[in-house]
Amino acid sequence: MPTSAALAAPTRYDRVARALHWSIAALILAAFALGLTVDAFPKTWKYAVTELHKVIGVTILLLVLLRVAWRLGHPVGAAAELSGGMRRAAAAGHAGLYLLMLAVPAIGIAFSLLRGQGLDFGFAAIPPLMEAAARTVSRPVKEVHELAAYALIALAGLHALAALWHHLVLRDSVLRRMLPEH
């Protein structure tokens, strides 16, 4: 039985939710691409590329926290055409995406701290908060950061395919809910 709040919830995402969704998606792709290719850059670039990766990653974490707070304050009803099973599948997928969007940058920060690194914005810098830990400690954290990033990209890929399938095959309102109104 839906609650009165759920009945009153709008059936599309507002401007703030849409702006956060698309900017976070673009930043995740950028952070992933930089993380994977950091070793392909000339040695003299490696520091700058790693710091850019970290600054983008920290920005993602802050935007996701803002997004969760916004989402909790602005409920959105499920698309009207969806069956109960589809609603549950979408809710589980979205919960997994939120979890990984928080976990990947948080583990990245843990790895960076364990490596004894600070954060260099170019115009300002946060100094290292601790001495570098032994590689036997930091290495597994790097592996988990990488694996969790792959899981995030794989789930986001499935999610994007599902959105396109709704739009192009089922021809329902799901993708339009996340697009500008006109």
Which residues are at the interface with ligand HEM (CB under 6 A)? 21, 25, 28, 31-32, 35-36, 38, 50, 53-54, 57-58, 60-61, 71, 76, 79, 90, 94, 97-98, 101, 104-105, 108-109, 111-112, 142, 145-146, 149, 152, 156, 159-160, 163-164, 174-175, 177-178
* Nearest partner of 156 among 29, 12, 68, judged by Cα: 29
Residue closer to ligand HEM by CB (options 19, 101) is 101
Query: What is the residue type of 52?
Result: L
Distance in Å, CB of 15 to ligand HEM, minimum: 14
Distance in Å, CB of 1 to ligand HEM, minimum: 21
Where does the chain have alpha helices with state H? Answer: 4-8, 15-37, 46-73, 84-114, 135-165
CA atoms within 13 A on the CB side of 72: 6
CB 80 within 8 A of CB 11: yes
CB 28 within 8 A of CB 101: yes
Distance in Å, CB of 86 to ligand HEM, minimum: 9
Distance in Å, CB of 67 to ligand HEM, minimum: 7
